Structure 1
Amino acid sequence: MNESASRVFVVDDDAGICRAFARLLRSAGYQAEIFESAHSFLNGADLSSGPACVVLDLQLPDLSGLEVQRELNMSLPIIFVTGHGDIGTTVDAMKAGAADFLTKPVCDSVLLDVVERALERARVIFERRRELAEIRLRLDRLTPREREVMARVVTGRLNKQIAGELGIAEKTIKIHRARVMEKMGAQTLADLIHLADKAGIGAAESVRLLH
């Protein structure tokens, strides 16, 4: 069964194709939204409220499908559909992360299969993005001093070493360290390192920031 929160954006300047794709997708239980130009899609689509993919015509009157792909910067899976595809364009699209590339006319069952695979990928992307947003919220709760302590903790430094580097008492470091663990929701040092790494401030980055 398809998840009701999963959306499919259909972007094609052919209104008939848009309607046909939308009917098919809705009959399969997806939320389908239609856009007849690249700009209307880029300016009007809500790309952040849940898992989504886009069925995108390669040839649009305002921007090409490849230009739209660059604008999205891999933020959601793209299924290209076109009646004018060539091998070079297909290769470019797939290298840039396209989920699939279909030639019109598209078989209904093929489109539905490709959409479901793209949405499975979209769900993973969305969950990772939501997890990262939560980690960053936790980081925002840290004081500047706690951030300094955390940057050193994830490199494996001991409390005594951190105290020496920051010029404060070791017992104060212990307090800061405990607060960091609490605010970050980490039970162990391994948990903290894992969270920091997901946020892009793992041990290697922390070492760079310290020098």
Structure 2
Amino acid sequence: MERARKRKNVDTATRTGDDEIHDAEMEVPLINLVHGSRNVASRVGQGIPRAEEATFNVETAATSSQAVDIGVLLQTMTQVIQNQNQQQLQQQKLQQVQTQSSYFDKLYRANAPNFEGGPDPDVALNWIAQMETKFKALRFPEDVKVQVVIPFLVGNAENWWRSMEDVAENDITWEEFKEMFLDQYFPRALRKKRQNDFYSLRQTENMTVL
């Protein structure tokens, strides 16, 4: 009995020692796991600001790039619009020249007379009347009349018009041209005298009839 009790005590002590060793072995990995987790957390925690900084830098660079791209795009669009406007203006001028040339050819083929100037107002009035008759027959628009008659001014009349180009507006109307033309070749004073003479003649005729 005594021997059996001693053997049981030895077995119990042996199991207790084994259990303590096993517990110690289990504790070491657990401690290491805890420390390892802390190290990992520390590394991850240190990495978050770097990741956020990198993301901010990327977003800032992208925003700056977009701003530059928009600026370049707007500049390019502005240049394209300016080029288009310039091309349209050139085309309009070319069409205007071609239109005037076409109407001049029509007027020339219709045997429109030249005007050389001179002191006789009746010649000036007759030239204006002939031009207006041809304008009506050929259905000339108002905006081409002045330009197509200028080549028919020759001699002194051509010199007069050259002196008036600096004074006259670029786009004067036919009525404005006629007023300038008649002021030169049929002055207002002479027109007034002619008008008075006409009224006097009419009164004389009426008195004769009575």
Q: What is the TM-score with the length of structure 2 in the denominator?
A: 0.24
Richer in helix (by share): 2
Higher relative contact order (CA 8 A, sep 6+): 2
Richer in strand (by share): 1
Q: What is the TM-score with the length of structure 1 in the denominator?
A: 0.24
